Amino acid sequence: MSLYAGIFKRDLHIAFKQKAELVQPLMFLLMVVTLFPLGVSPAPETLQRIGPGVIWIAAILSSLLAMERLFRDDFQDGALEQYMLSGMALPAVSAVKVAVHWLVSFVPLLILSPLLAMFLNLTYDMYIALMLTLLLGSPLLSLVGAIAVGLTVGLQKGGVLLALLLIPVFIPLLIFATSAVDSAALQLPYQSQLAIIAAMLLLAAALAPFAIAYSLKVSQN
Amino acid sequence: MQFESFSDFINMGGYAFYVWLSFGVTFLSMGIIAVQSYLKQSSLLKAVIVEQERKARIKKARQENTHAQ
Amino acid sequence: MWKWLHPYAKTERAYQLCLTLQPWFWAGALLCLSIGTVWGLAFAPQDYQQGDSFRIIYIHVPSAILSMGTYVAMAIAALVGMVWQWRTAYMSMIAMAPIGAVMTFIALFTGAAWGKPMWGAWWVWDARLTSELILLFLYMGVIALYGAFEDKQQAGKAAGVMALVGVVNIPIIHYSVEWWNTLHQGATISKFDNPSIAPEMLWPLLINLLGFALFIGAVTTVRLRNEIVLRELHRPWVQALAQQHIEGKR
Amino acid sequence: MLEACRVTCSKRDRVLFEGLSLNVNAGELLYLRGPNGAGKTSLLRILTGLSAPDDGCVKFAGQDIQQYPKDYYRQLLYLGHKSGTNGSLSALDNLGFWLAQHNVQQNQGTLYDTLAKVGLVGLEDVPVRYLSAGQQRRVALSRLWLKPARVWILDEPFTALDVKGVAMLESAMNDHVSKGGLVITTSHQLLSQDAGEHRVFDLEYRF
């Protein structure tokens, strides 16, 4: 077990050395959210209606920016090869790396979400629903995103291709998350939407590490 | 003095929370940026010493190698 | 031209200049801030409409003005750096950027806290608050750009260009946001305009403005000295300085 | 000890080599020679198990390395073109984390001594990206002394090394082979006599 704790520590250590790369997607998220009142209208009712969709779309786009960081450095400087030759199970290694990536790029997003909710004039229980969907949805983004990152890490021009691969896959999550927040706005129960997102998350948590390991082997070849 | 008693002053005409929050956050953030600058200064000066020691160690190692050859 | 300014291009002379200016800045800042704040909080009259929540103006307006002012000063430093190739100018530009961002944050926070009792919401897309927020993004851009470069010489030039691009855009942003605000005027936001300031309210405001400015000056001199030490790490005068600092500490 | 039987590999539908058999025993230094593009790196990567051959298999001590990689990897040390060190970490951190991954316990003292041996005194805690290419190569090479592995697979280890570095590496190979280890290496300069006697294996370029 201590082997994987070693990787966890290493990735956290690297993440803190490259703070700028972590702050930038969050600033992107904040700026995209501020564009909507300027572009659509500052009226509180309109903002409240489009709020959940805006926040979730901005969260998905900013996660795509941060996603590439997952394996890019390790691939380019050869650390990935050393992982593969270290006798550790690659699925477990990728699960640990995805956990660190979630901790480092999505937890700050959760911390920022009250500010976004305030900007878009969301009510208190809308904010609670938003927080829950983000809490359940963001690990799903990381896990599924890591599969595509594993595949495109070998290519130089992987950035846009990554978005093309991942956006269709993230649509179900977007639909259920925004509908959960909308029904929270109407004081309706939204447990069913959360349950579906949780189911998707559990499915991804079970299968994604193996898919990530395989995609890394494919791009390593 | 605009206020009869000190407790009136604290109450700030009912807006105590907003006034004191704003003043608090203002001086807190000014304090943070000032203290951070001074901490950076002492850490930088320490870094100068570390660089000097590093250079001395490298020079010593180089001399030992040339003697060993 | 400007011969008397030329010696300060060299970093050691600039360092000494900062050292001499710094105590005056700190003394002036603490003095003005304490007088202005106490005067504004306790002795200045209430506003007939907003009562005592109006007293937040004594920190909101100075920080808003100076957030803009610091950005302009940053742009001037960048221009000087570009025209006369002064490294210290670029260093002072990047020394000012964080404090300008803090000033903008203060202006935003106090503006929001001031607006809450009137508008009932912590954040409203009011014209001035919105352009203040965009100014914060401009600051973040310059700081992030400077941090992205390994070679700080190159970083200074790049951040300088962005500062100049930013300063040209500030009036454009300001008026377009104003126009955007009036366009959506019907959007149930009461236009929040500055009540006319009586003279006895103006004095604490001006003193606080001076206090904030001196504070910015003081922190800038500290950060500029940091930048100089960072860039001249291997120079003998910096090493002598570091020895003094360590002896002084011990 | 390490045996490749009838290994085939094709890259972008060009067959690099076909039905290639190779057997390297303990206490032997194999020098893999061949022009650029002959597939030396691909062969080495197949020998390490990083990439699977199109057909044929690679056996270590009789066991196929694709089925039972664990004990092969405990004995393997691979140095590829990439240094395997992260630029924002220092040499010490990089090696420390690498050793933790490979389940090798080394105290801080041996790390400093090894880095001193490869001539990196004073640069141990500098982020690796500030070091020169040759110094980064030396950080990667210091792994040879840190992990007790019997099989060394080195892909052009001499690149970016100065004369002293090359001599140091060749004598290290010689010691390793004399102690019963196994080294497979490629390089574009002839091995001098420091490296001791070695077997040459030629890989021709196929069109």
Query: pLDDT tens for residues A63-97?
Result: 999 998 889 889 998 999 999 998 888 999 999 99
Nearest-10 Cα torsion for A97, A100, A101, A103? 160
Lowest mean pLDDT among A146-150, A188-192, B59-63: B59-63
Quick one: pLDDT at residue C4? 63
A88 at interface of D, judged by CB pairs closer than 8 A: yes
Using CB atoms, pick whichever of A73, A81, A86 lies closest to residue D80.
A81
Judged by CB atoms closer than 8 Å, whether chains meet at B57 and D121 is answered as yes
Confidence of residue A193 (pLDDT cuts 50, 70, 90): very high
Quick one: pLDDT at residue B67? 76
Residue C118 has pLDDT above 90, yes or no: no
Q: How far is A21 from chain D (nearest CA, A)?
A: 12
Ramachandran class of D33: left when φ > 0, alpha when ψ lies in -120 to 50, beta otherwise: beta
Residue C7 has pLDDT above 80, yes or no: no
Q: How far is D193 from chain A (nearest CA, A)?
A: 31
Query: DSSP readout, B3-57?
Result: -SSHHHHHHGGGTHHHHHHHHHHHHHHHHHHHHHHHHHHHHHHHHHHHHHHHHHH
Judged by CB atoms closer than 8 Å, whether chains meet at D100 and A88 is answered as no
Residue D174 has pLDDT above 80, yes or no: yes
Would the ipTM clear 0.90, i.e. be above it?
A: no
Interface test with B, best of D114, D121, D131 (most B CBs within 10 A): D121
Confidence of residue C244 (pLDDT cuts 50, 70, 90): confident
So where are chain B's domains? 6-68
Residue C66 has pLDDT above 80, yes or no: yes
Domain CATH for D28:
3.40.50.300
- For residue C176, the chain A residue with the least C-alpha distance is A38
Q: Is residue D38 part of a domain?
A: yes
Q: How large is the average pLDDT for residues D96-104? A: 90
Judged by CB atoms closer than 8 Å, whether chains meet at B18 and C117 is answered as yes
Quick one: pLDDT at residue C190? 45
* Structure-token pair, residue B13: 């005409």
Q: Is residue D207 part of a domain?
A: no
Judged by CB atoms closer than 8 Å, whether chains meet at D78 and A3 is answered as no
Number of domains in chain C: 1
Query: DSSP readout, chain A?
Result: -HHHHHHHHHHHHHHHHTHHHHHHHHHHHHHHHHHHHHHS---HHHHHHHHHHHHHHHHHHHHHHHHTHHHHHHHHTTHHHHHHTTTS-HHHHHHHHHHHHIIIIIHHHHHHHHHHHHHTT--HHHHHHHHHHHHHHHHHHHHHHHHHHHHHTTSTTHHHHHHHHHHHHHHHHHHHHHHHHHHHHTT---HHHHHHHHHHHHHHHHHHHHHHHHHHHHHH-
* Structure-token pair, residue A71: 């394996």
D to A contact (≥3 Cβ pairs closer than 8 Å): yes
Lowest mean pLDDT among C134-148, C203-217, D95-109, D189-203: D189-203
Segments of chain B with pLDDT less than 70: 68-69
Quick one: pLDDT at residue B42? 92
Judged by CB atoms closer than 8 Å, whether chains meet at D83 and A78 is answered as yes
Quick one: pLDDT at residue B69? 61
Residues of chain A neighbouring D49 (CB-CB closer than 8 A): 85
Residues of chain A neighbouring C177 (CB-CB closer than 8 A): 38
Number of domains in chain D: 1
How much is the pTM? 0.89
- For residue B65, the chain D residue with the least C-alpha distance is D119
Reported as type and span, the H/E element at residue D21 is: strand D14-24
Judged by CB atoms closer than 8 Å, whether chains meet at C181 and A43 is answered as no
Residue A182 has pLDDT above 90, yes or no: yes
What is the span of the domain harbouring residue D96?
A: 2-202
Chains B–D, number of C-beta pairs less than 8 Å apart: 14
Q: What angle do CA A94, A96, A97 make, to 5 degrees?
A: 65
Quick one: pLDDT at residue C2? 59
Judged by CB atoms closer than 8 Å, whether chains meet at D122 and B57 is answered as yes
Residues of chain B neighbouring D116 (CB-CB closer than 8 A): 61
Using CB atoms, pick whichever of A31, A37, A121 lies closest to residue C137.
A31
Q: How large is the average pLDDT for residues A102-118? A: 93
C125 at interface of A, judged by CB pairs closer than 8 A: yes
Measured between alpha carbons, how far is A32 from B37 in angstroms, rounded to an integer?
31
| 3-state class (DSSP) for residue C150 | coil
Quick one: pLDDT at residue C150? 87
Quick one: pLDDT at residue C49? 76
Q: How large is the average pLDDT for residues D125-141? A: 92
- Contact (Cβ atoms closer than 8 angstroms) between residue D59 and residue D5: yes
Residue C185 has pLDDT above 70, yes or no: no
Q: How large is the average pLDDT for residues D142-146? A: 92
Quick one: pLDDT at residue C5? 62
Judged by CB atoms closer than 8 Å, whether chains meet at C52 and B29 is answered as no
Q: Is residue D126 part of a domain?
A: yes
Q: Is residue D158 part of a domain?
A: yes
CA-closest candidate to residue A66, choices A137, A125, A149: A149
User: What are the residues of chain B with a beta carbon less than 8 Å away from any beta carbon of chain D?
Assistant: 54-55, 57-58, 60-61, 65
B to A contact (≥3 Cβ pairs closer than 8 Å): no
Judged by CB atoms closer than 8 Å, whether chains meet at C180 and A38 is answered as yes
Residue C11 has pLDDT above 90, yes or no: no
Query: pLDDT tens for residues D43-87?
Result: 999 999 888 888 888 998 888 888 888 889 989 999 999 988 999
Quick one: pLDDT at residue C191? 46
Residues of chain B neighbouring D123 (CB-CB closer than 8 A): 54, 58
Residue C187 has pLDDT above 50, yes or no: no
Quick one: pLDDT at residue C188? 44
